[in-house]
């Protein structure tokens, strides 16, 4: 029964709330997890929170770029650049534990290892693309700081859709596990 609990915690098996008949008789919703399994669920929870926070920044920073591309007032431009700089710093700090917790789940707990887990390889490709997107945002911010932006607000509006699509793909890969 314990092996099934590990598979449940990894998300690879259907949940069986009963580890023993006595537990089922007392509480039909009871689940017994080992310390390792419980810790893994905490790490998974932290991974989700940090990824959501990182993506909040990835959604908002290009919106600031849209406003910067349209702005002509120096005072407003300075304020927007300051906001963008602070947000980029926050995003970078938040991205680090998001990646670390994800790697811990993969390498430390074996999530996505073994046959039938091609979804993880696809998700890792999405993560690498989003790290590249994050880096590109930093380069664009530097161009704004130097007054060298040549892109229009319309371009930044389209650029802003990339993390939406990436998040959708990553969530579908993790939840549905299509391959």
pLDDT score at 21: 46
Three-state SS for 29? coil
Taking residues 43-49, report their average pLDDT: 97
Closest CA to 141 of 151, 130, 129, 127: 151
Q: What is the pLDDT of residue 143?
A: 98
Give per-residue pLDDT as tens, 140-166. Answer: 999 999 999 999 999 999 999 999 999
The H-or-E segment that residue 57 falls in is: helix 35-70
In whole angstroms, what is the distance from residue 81 CA to residue 69 CA? 11
d(CA 1, CA 31): 11
Judge whether residue 82 has pLDDT over 50.
yes
Q: Contact 2/16 with Cβ under 8 angstroms?
A: no
Calculate mean pLDDT across residues 122-145: 98
What proportion of the chain, given as a percentage, has pLDDT over 90? Answer: 77
Query: Which of the 8 DSSP states describes residue 105?
Result: I
């Amino acid at each position: 029964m314990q092996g099934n609990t590990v598979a449940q915690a990894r998300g690879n098996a259907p949940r069986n709330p009963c580890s023993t008949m006595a537990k089922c008789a007392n509480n039909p919703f009871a689940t017994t997890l080992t310390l390792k399994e419980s810790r893994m669920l905490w790490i998974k929870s932290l991974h989700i929170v940090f990824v959501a926070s990182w993506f909040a920044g990835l959604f908002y920073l290009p919106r600031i770029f849209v406003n910067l591309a349209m702005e002509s007032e120096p005072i407003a431009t300075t304020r927007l650049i300051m906001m963008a700089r602070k947000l980029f710093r926050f995003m970078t700090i938040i991205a680090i534990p998001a990646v670390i917790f994800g790697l811990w789940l993969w390498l430390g707990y074996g999530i996505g290892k073994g046959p039938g887990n091609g979804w993880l390889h696809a998700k890792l490709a999405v993560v690498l693309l989003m790290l590249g997107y994050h880096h590109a945002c930093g380069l664009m911010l530097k161009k704004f700081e130097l007054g060298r932006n040549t892109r229009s607000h319309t371009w930044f509006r389209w650029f802003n859709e990339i993390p939406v699509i990436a998040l959708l793909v990553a969530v579908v890969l993790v939840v549905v596990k299509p391959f």
